[in-house]
């Protein structure tokens, strides 16, 4: 379909709570393909959510399989429509970055393991257990669907937020 422009903070769309999407609609399929194309075209991205390309819908895609951090535990390309974390456990601090916050990274506390429920691209209801980097990436993308950026989760910006070296 198309590689779309990624919105950058402080664009107000990034702070909106997104609405549920209709699985199997033509518009949803087009949005999913645009998200996949945009994520892979970035070359370094392991996930992207619909509001990052200006669509206020509950859709995210994640694929950590190409990252050295995600090679051990991953489900490949995950297309998540109306996703919800239904279980979480443990705590892990990781350095996160975001295409919508290109100049900074930060240390964020996330659950080590999650169970996420969503509709897949074919409209099937899925429940998947994820851990490690994949779990962190999913939590990051699902935050976007609620208007939350990783910046909002940094406990002490003075010591936990870092200027990205370009």
Q: What pLDDT sits at residue 1?
A: 67
Examine the pLDDT at 166 and tell me if it is beyond 90. no
Q: What pLDDT sits at residue 159?
A: 95
- Range(s) of the domain holding residue 100: 12-163
- Asked if residue 5 is part of any domain, the answer here is no
Q: What pLDDT sits at residue 165?
A: 83
- On average, the pLDDT of the chain sits at 96
- 39-88: pLDDT as tens digits: 999 999 999 999 999 999 999 999 999 999 999 999 999 999 999 999 99
- Asked if residue 1 is part of any domain, the answer here is no
- Asked if residue 74 is part of any domain, the answer here is yes
- Asked if residue 7 is part of any domain, the answer here is no
Residue 54 to residue 99: CA distance in whole angstroms: 13
- Asked if residue 107 is part of any domain, the answer here is yes
CATH number of the domain bearing residue 92? 3.90.45.10
The mean per-residue pLDDT over the stretch 98-106 comes to: 97
The mean per-residue pLDDT over the stretch 98-123 comes to: 97
Catalytic residues: 141
111 and 90 Cβ atoms separated by less than 8 Å: yes
Please state the domain count of the chain.
1
Tracing tokens 């209709």 back to the chain, one arrives at 22
Runs of H (alpha helix) within 19-80: 26-42
């Amino acid at each position: 379909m198309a590689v779309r422009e990624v919105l950058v903070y402080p664009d107000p769309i990034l702070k909106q709570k997104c609405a549920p999407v209709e699985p199997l609609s033509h518009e949803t399929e087009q949005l999913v393909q645009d998200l996949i194309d945009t994520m892979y075209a970035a070359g370094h991205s392991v996930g992207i959510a619909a509001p990052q390309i200006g669509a206020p819908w509950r859709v995210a895609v994640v694929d950590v399989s190409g990252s050295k951090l995600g090679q051990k535990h991953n489900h490949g390309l995950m297309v998540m429509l109306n996703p919800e974390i239904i279980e979480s456990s443990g705590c892990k601090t990781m350095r996160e970055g975001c295409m919508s916050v290109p100049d900074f990274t930060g240390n964020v506390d996330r659950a080590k393991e999650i169970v996420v429920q969503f509709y897949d691209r074919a409209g099937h209801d899925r429940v998947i257990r994820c851990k490690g980097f994949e779990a962190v990436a999913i939590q990051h993308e699902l935050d976007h669907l609620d208007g939350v950026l990783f910046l909002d989760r940094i406990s002490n910006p003075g010591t936990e937020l870092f200027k990205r070296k370009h």
